[in-house]
């Protein structure tokens, strides 16, 4: 009997964030429908590119099988099938040990971006959908002006006596109450932590989130996202079911001499708020600089606009960019990638420093523009962005989290 080691996705743990499919370099190897994400055994080459970005670990599941589970079988699952013990494997056939060796080689060459070398070791998956933590809402504040289209809230959750350790850059999952149109429990919604590791209120077992209310037109009727609507409508004292924490690579270095270049739009600022607050509280004498490129449509729609104005330039070199506000001396709208070009000398200097870490978070559409700006800046300075990016990634100094 021959066997193969099949890569599978756990439907009980998967939060359907699409990270695995987006990061898979083999077209069609990972696909999905409204219920499940599945792996095509005929196309999967064990490259492992999907493993590290998965926030829950759902993607990192394997079964030794004599015949691969079909896509139709995987789509029908509500949980992974039990392990099947294979017998009568003849010497020389491709059993589990050989498959493991192949995977070890694939892991070594996967190219996944590691966490920064000096980052603290994160705790992950301490609380699950079947055993969620229960947090109490101690604050829910709108942080964009009333009347603007962008309804963004700063929400503080307190975990009481439950252990819920987090690091800047990690995320948590929120379980909205109720069921969907098919009668199934709502999927877990993932939100980045917007506070420092010692809590929104230092010394308390709490954390903060930055949540934007999502609205959309459904046959002429304006509706709101299940998760974001639930979160933005929470009242002080409400109890929320929480899973996680998630994330083991999008972390900040503990080295006080590390430079942080942070590029974001909208609620993508959440992890950077946590990182900035961490640095502010440490009041370190290190040489590390922080530079922020933060994009929104207008100042009134930029979350944390007021508090950002109070931060000293010595702590955070910030560039706030508003795409719907055409400046008097400009003929076109401006985006974060445009402001990067205007700060080309400073960006190039940070890229040349081996202590620099780059973080990009926000809408996925921003990535191409940012990449193009890095390319242009490097070319003008006689550098090769492709070479620099490769080096940054291998050293855990280039992290992207977009959606």
Residue 20, classified by CB atoms within 10 Å of its CB into exposed (0-12), middle (13-18) or buried (19+), is buried
Total Cβ atoms within 10 A of residue 132: 18
Q: What does the buried/exposed string (b/e) look like for 302-335 if buried means 16 or more CB atoms within 10 Å of the residue's CB?
A: bbbbeebeebeeeebbbbbbbbeeeeeeeeeebb
Total Cβ atoms within 10 A of residue 230: 21
The string of DSSP codes covering 132-160 is -EEEEEEEEEE-S-TTSS--EEEEEEE-T
Task: Please name the residue that has the structure tokens 């493991």.
Answer: 100
Estimate to the nearest angstrom the gap between the alpha carbon of 30 and the chain centroid.
19
Across the strands, what pairs with 74?
none
Please give the helix or strand (H or E) that residue 5 lies within, else none.
Answer: strand 4-8
Residue 220, classified by CB atoms within 10 Å of its CB into exposed (0-12), middle (13-18) or buried (19+), is exposed
C-alpha distances (whole Å) from 255 to each of 251, 259, 274, 311, 356 are: 12, 9, 16, 21, 11
The answer to whether 361 is a known catalytic residue is yes
Considering 46, 75, 204, 403, which one is annotated as catalytic? 403
Question: Cα–Cα distance between 112 and 396 in angstroms, integer?
Answer: 9
Considering 14, 20, 69, 191, which one is annotated as catalytic? 191
Considering 3, 192, 195, 373, which one is annotated as catalytic? 192
Task: Please name the residue that has the structure tokens 């994400």.
Answer: 37
- DSSP β-ladder status, 290-296 and 259-265: parallel
The answer to whether 46 is a known catalytic residue is no
CA-nearest of 254, 249, 209 to 53 is: 249
CA-nearest of 76, 100, 86 to 7 is: 100
CA-nearest of 344, 343, 345, 325 to 333 is: 325
The answer to whether 24 is a known catalytic residue is no
Question: Cα–Cα distance between 113 and 266 in angstroms, integer?
Answer: 24
Give the catalytic positions in this structure.
191-192, 361, 401, 403
């Amino acid at each position: 009997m021959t066997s193969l080691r099949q890569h599978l996705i756990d439907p009980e743990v998967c939060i359907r964030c699409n990270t695995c499919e987006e990061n898979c370099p083999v077209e069609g190897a990972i696909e999905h429908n409204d219920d499940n994400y599945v792996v095509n055994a005929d196309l999967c080459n064990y490259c492992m590119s999907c493993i590290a970005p998965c926030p829950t670990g759902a993607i990192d599941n394997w079964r030794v099988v004599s015949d691969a589970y079909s896509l139709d079988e995987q789509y029908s699952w509500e949980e992974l099938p039990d392990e099947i013990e294979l017998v009568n494997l003849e010497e020389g056939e491709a059993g589990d040990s050989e498959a493991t060796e192949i995977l070890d080689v694939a892991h070594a060459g996967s190219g996944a971006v590691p966490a920064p070398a000096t980052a603290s070791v994160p705790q992950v998956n301490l609380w699950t959908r079947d055993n969620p933590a229960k947090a109490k809402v101690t604050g829910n504040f709108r942080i964009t002006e009333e009347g603007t289209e962008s309804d963004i809230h700063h929400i503080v959750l307190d975990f009481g006596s439950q252990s819920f350790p987090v690091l800047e850059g990690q995320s948590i999952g929120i379980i909205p109450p109720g069921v969907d149109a098919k009668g199934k429990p709502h999927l877990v919604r993932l939100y980045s932590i917007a506070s420092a590791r010692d809590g929104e209120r230092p010394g308390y077992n709490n954390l903060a989130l930055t949540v934007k209310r999502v609205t959309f037109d459904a046959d002429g009727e304006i509706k709101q996202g299940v998760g974001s609507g639930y979160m933005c409508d929470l009242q002080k004292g409400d109890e929320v079911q929480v899973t996680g924490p998630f994330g083991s690579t999008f972390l900040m270095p503990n080295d006080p001499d590390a430079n942080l270049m942070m590029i974001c739009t909208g609620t993508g600022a959440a992890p950077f708020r946590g990182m900035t607050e961490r640095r502010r509280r440490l009041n370190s004498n290190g040489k590390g600089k922080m530079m922020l490129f933060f994009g929104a449509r207008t100042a009134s729609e930029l979350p944390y606009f007021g508090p950002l104005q109070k931060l000293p330039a010595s702590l955070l070199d910030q560039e706030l960019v508003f795409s719907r506000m055409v400046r008097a001396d400009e003929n076109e709208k401006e985006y974060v990638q445009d402001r990067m070009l205007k700060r080309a000398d400073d960006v190039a200097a940070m890229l040349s420093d081996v202590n620099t870490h780059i973080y990009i978070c926000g809408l996925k559409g921003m990535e191409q523009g940012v990449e193009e700006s890095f390319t242009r800046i490097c070319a003008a300075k006689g550098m090769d962005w492709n070479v620099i990016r490769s080096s940054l990634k291998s050293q855990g100094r280039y992290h992207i989290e977009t959606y």
